[in-house]
Amino acid sequence: MKKTLHILFLFFLLTKVYGQYSPSTHNYTLAEYKAGNQNWDITRSEDGKIYVANNNGLLAYDALNWKFYQLPNKTTVRSVFTDNNIVFTGSYEEFGYWEKDDFGVLKYVSLSDKVIDQISANEEIWQIVKFKDKIIFRSFLNIYIYDYKNVIQLSPKSAIISSNVIDNKLYICTLNKGIFSLEDEKLKPFFFDSHLLDTKIVSLTSYNDGLLLLTSLKGSYYLHNNQLKPTRFKIDKELKQHQLNKFSQLPNGEMVFGTIKNGVFLTDAKGNLKFHVSKENGLINNTVLGQYIDTSNNLWLGLDNGISKIDLDSHHYFFNDQSGKLGAVYDVVKYRGQIYIGSNTGLFKLNKNDKLHFIEGSQGQVWDLIIIEDQLFCGHNEGTFVVDEDQLTWISSFTGGWTIKKVPERKNTYIQGTYTGLVKFEKQLDKWHVKHLGKTTIPSRFLAFEGPNIAWVAHAYKGLYRVKFDDNYDTISSVKSYGDKGIGSDFNLRVYNIKNNISFKTNDGWQKYEPIIDSIVPYNLLNEKFGKDSYIISEEDTNRLALINNDGLISFKAFNNITDSITFGNRKIKNRYVVGYENISKIEDSIYALNLVNGFMMIDNGFKKNLELYKPTVESILINKKAIALNFKEEPLSIEYGESLEIEIVSPRSTNHFFEYRLFENDNHWNELENNTIELTNLIEGNYKIEFRAKNDFGNISPIQSLTFEINPPWYRGTLGILIYLLIFALAIYTFFYVQKRKLIREQRLMKIKYQKEQQKLLREKTLENEKRIVQLKNDALQSDIKSKSKQLANNAMALVKKNESLQEIKKELMINKESFQNYYAYKKLLKKVDNSIVLKDEWEVFEYNFNQVHDEFFIKLKDKHPKLTSKDLKICAYIKMNLSSKEIAPLLNISVRGVETHRYRLNKKLNLDNDISMADYLLNIK
């Protein structure tokens, strides 16, 4: 019963301000799907894919990526329908179907070719429905019935506006001839009324044992027992004004009206408005060209400019301000039946005309909205105000009222954290008295009471303090910093009182104050229950706390029953968070408001939506960028070594998901894919099993899809390689033995040649040695001969010296006994003979010849070196070379010893000999 009341409250709240509230809406822009702006029709196939009839062709969406397919004639696709995953489309003078080939790619097959001669000029197919086992294509002029074999054409002779299948019957609504039914492949009149002349019946559906007719500009009618009556739905006024274009009905009887001018309207089964979603509150465009409700109650809209999806099954609703006036919302509160909104631009409320109303004088940052003593307090950048309807009463000039908390065990007394410290608010005689408590002026964003006189204050940016107040709360008695008391990091601190424990959310996780040791210690219980990266964004004194984590997921968790939790959030909502100032405020019972940029979100924390994820399927496989057929079934995929493998996976029935994969079955680590395609390269040979799964931010995972494949060895490690290796090995062995044989023959030949050369060398050496011996013997003989001749020459010279000496003595005796000779002439004659015997020219010539023979042309060589030498000089040189002394030389030259010395001195000058060079040595060295 309580749950029902919550839902009724939410319904009452939202229906009262339907113009601003809307279900969760996601828009897809042209930049995302990359095709034409106009989307004429939309549907969802059994496998979960969305197909859109686009201005440029056919769009397919697998919940992550869009793909575009173009008709062969490249015309606009006006209608789309799926049956058994076959996609039927209608276009300009063309209709047919798309079916996947073996490679997973949609291929188009034309059906209009079967009736090409029956299609009218400029005819376009605007609607496709299934009737029994047939597919019906509708244009304004004809219907074409396809039974999966043949196509037949039928015409009611009036413009066809819509075709509808109800209770296994096909109804054709025309512009001027009423409604027809199809029976036995013939159109038979079903109903006609003059009120329907020139009326576009957009849709026909069952309703309360009759039929509901929805027209473009005339509202809705109820047909029962062949009687037509206006329904007088409240929504009819909107439909007539904004021109109904599309209609859908939910299984619970609720109705969706898509209009040309003003978006989409959702009503209950009686036509009472629940929501209106338009460009004003979230829709990308107001002109609805096509719509479809899938099995998950998602409303898909094909718009004049874009595509939208509205979650009709969610109990979370949004207030969106597209004008930009509201800005970033910081707090939302319900006070005396009205919703007040505090934002960075000021204070707003929703008035009875469901419009955003700015409260004058509130411009500037609003931080906090709280009801105290049945009065609405507004913590503002300029101070603190009390709000009464549209009136603001300024009660505090202390700027930046971030938070305000009631003092425990003390009536009508509150402490506020501001830009400049702590401020006391005390109500006396229905009047608020405000006082700054002094002592500290730190920006106090977070505040929690430990006891009646002790509070903890977290600095807006850095620092944590324990504050003590005096008993009368007139002043602060002490302020103690706890930055060095075990706190991991004193940046970005948040402080709470959770179940009478002072708890801190730090950059390192949850910690708490331990009064026994007056220190801060890790709070393992909260780290386990809440998670180290989660912090509280609701009031901490409620039974169920709201937390947000680093991934942007918001959870409602009961402290005593952690399994009783609700988690929501998606990547679109995350983009609208006011980061660091996320706040969830309680509106009523299980209804909460989450602040967002340009609005807020109403949350029913008693509602849990099924977040089931579905098993992924393989969409396509490319090997070396070339698509392969997907008919390999259970057989492992065979891939050559070095080839790349690209796998595209999809899970179209899943929402807000991403994919993970692992390449090895026993690997516990799953890798997240950036999109839905994985490319594997540089894999070594072997068997592989790659596994995929879908996952969302809430931790839900899908069943696993797997694909086995085999990387074949490279050719050089395969059969061919082995054969080549064997051939190379055999060739190598043959080559080895052949080379060895050749080498042996060559070595033998070389050894023979070497032996011959050595023999020849030895022979030459022996011959040379013999020749040397012969020469040596000859030289020895010559030397002996020379020695003999030299000895003989010396003997001759000595004999000559002795002879000359004797003759000199004779001459001397003759000269002494001169007087003894009587005959002077006889004396002269005898003396002359003696002189002639002393110096004989012939004797010198004989001596010179013999000397040259012995000393190898000594005189010739000496004359060549010293051409100025006289014959007497040469004689002296010869005697000196024979090692004769001056005394021995003197008789040979018939001069005195002194004359020989004088001659030797002059000869030394002629030979240009230095003083340190002996003449004898010089002459002996002349060979």
Residue-wise pLDDT for 371-405, tens only, equals 999 999 999 999 999 999 899 999 999 999 999 99
In a domain, 848, yes or no: yes
Give me the sheet containing 444-451, strands edge to edge. Answer: 444-451, 454-459, 464-469, 476-481
Boundary (domain end) residue, out of 690, 713, 736: 713
Q: Strand pairing of 705-711 and 637-639? A: parallel
Residue among 881, 902, 906 nearest 890 (CA): 902
Q: Measured between alpha carbons, how far is residue 655 from residues 71, 659, 813 in Å? A: 29, 11, 161
Lowest mean pLDDT of 230-239, 366-375, 505-514, 786-795, name the range: 786-795
Query: For 884, how many CA atoms within 13 A lie in the half-sphere containing its CB?
Result: 28
Domain co-membership, 416 together with 507: yes
Residue among 606, 509, 538, 594 nearest 566 (CA): 606
pLDDT digits (tens, 9 = 90+) for 501-514: 999 999 989 999 99
Residue, of 642 and 108, whose pLDDT is higher: 108
In a domain, 237, yes or no: no
pLDDT digits (tens, 9 = 90+) for 307-357: 999 998 877 888 888 888 999 999 999 999 899 999 999 999 988 766 889
pLDDT at 561 over 80: no
pLDDT band at 12 (very low <50, low <70, confident <90, very high): very low
Domain co-membership, 570 together with 622: no
Please provide the average confidence, as pLDDT, over all residues in the chain: 87
Domain co-membership, 423 together with 505: yes
Residue 909 CB neighbours (<10 A):
8
Domain co-membership, 704 together with 721: no
Dihedral (CA of 764, 769, 774, 776) sign: positive
Lowest mean pLDDT of 142-156, 249-263, 562-576, name the range: 562-576
In a domain, 35, yes or no: no
pLDDT, position 775: 78
* CA dist., res. 856 & res. 875, Å (int): 16
pLDDT, position 18: 39
Contacts 24+ apart (CB under 8 A), 355-358: 355/19, 355/20, 356/20, 356/321, 356/323, 356/325, 356/326, 357/390, 358/325
Cα 223–Cα 224–Cα 227 angle in degrees, nearest 5 = 70
Residue, of 161 and 749, whose pLDDT is higher: 161
pLDDT, position 294: 94
Q: In CATH, what number is assigned to the domain containing residue 707?
A: 2.60.40.10
Specify whether the CB–CB gap between 296 and 288 falls below 8 A.
no
Boundary (domain end) residue, out of 491, 513, 531: 531
Output Rg (C-alpha) for the chain, integer angstroms: 62
Domain co-membership, 640 together with 600: no
> Which element (helix H / strand E) includes 698?
none
> Which element (helix H / strand E) includes 443?
none
Residue 239 CB neighbours (<10 A):
25
pLDDT, position 2: 40
pLDDT digits (tens, 9 = 90+) for 711-751: 998 888 778 888 888 898 899 998 889 888 888 888 888 88
Whole-model pTM? Answer: 0.74
* CA dist., res. 688 & res. 637, Å (int): 9
In a domain, 603, yes or no: yes
Give the mean pLDDT of 74-83: 96
Domain co-membership, 590 together with 631: no
Residue 234 CB neighbours (<10 A):
12
Lowest mean pLDDT of 137-141, 264-268, 790-794, name the range: 790-794
Boundary (domain end) residue, out of 687, 713, 739: 713
Residue among 593, 12, 21 nearest 319 (CA): 21
pLDDT at 205 over 50: yes
Specify whether the CB–CB gap between 715 and 722 falls below 8 A.
no
SS3 call for 425: strand
Domain, as residue range, for 665: 617-713
Give exposure, 593-608, as e/b (b: 16+ Cβ within 10 Å).
bbbbbbbbbbbbbbbe
Specify whether the CB–CB gap between 622 and 646 falls below 8 A.
yes
In the chain, the N- to C-terminal Cα span, in Å, equals 148
Domain co-membership, 517 together with 417: yes
Domain co-membership, 831 together with 772: yes
pLDDT at 3 over 60: no
Residue with tokens 């000779």: 821
pLDDT, position 925: 80
Give the mean pLDDT of 677-685: 91
* CA dist., res. 759 & res. 226, Å (int): 137
Domain co-membership, 525 together with 404: yes
Domain co-membership, 418 together with 516: yes
Residue among 485, 489, 480, 482 nearest 461 (CA): 489
What residues pair up with 435 in beta bridges, in sequence order?
Answer: 424
Specify whether the CB–CB gap between 424 and 439 falls below 8 A.
no
Per 3-state DSSP, the chain is made up of helix, strand and coil in percentages (nearest 5) of: 25, 40, 35
Domain co-membership, 517 together with 538: no
In a domain, 110, yes or no: no
pLDDT digits (tens, 9 = 90+) for 904-917: 888 888 888 887 78
Domain co-membership, 858 together with 912: yes
In a domain, 256, yes or no: no
Give the mean pLDDT of 57-62: 96
Tokens coding 890? 């003197």
pLDDT digits (tens, 9 = 90+) for 467-512: 999 988 999 999 999 988 888 788 889 999 998 999 999 998 999 9
Q: In CATH, what number is assigned to the domain containing residue 465?
A: 2.130.10.10
List CB contacts of 519: < 8 A, sequence separation 6 or more. Answer: 485, 486, 513
In a domain, 77, yes or no: no
In a domain, 858, yes or no: yes
pLDDT digits (tens, 9 = 90+) for 590-645: 789 999 999 999 888 766 666 789 999 999 999 999 999 888 667 788 898 889 99
Burial class (CB in 10 A: 0-12, 13-18, 19+), 845: exposed
pLDDT at 927 over 80: no
How many helices, marked H, and strands, marked E, lie in the chain? Answer: 13, 66
pLDDT digits (tens, 9 = 90+) for 216-227: 999 999 999 999
Residue, of 238 and 922, whose pLDDT is higher: 238
Number of structural domains (the chain) is: 5
SS (H, E, C) 470-531: CCCCCCEEEEEECCCCCCCCCECCEEEEECCEEEEEECCEEEEEECCCCEEEECHHHHHHCC
pLDDT, position 788: 66
pLDDT band at 417 (very low <50, low <70, confident <90, very high): very high
Express as a percent the part of the chain with pLDDT over 90. 56
Residue among 19, 62, 45, 81 nearest 290 (CA): 81
Express as a percent the part of the chain with pLDDT over 70. 91
pLDDT, position 801: 59
pLDDT, position 15: 40
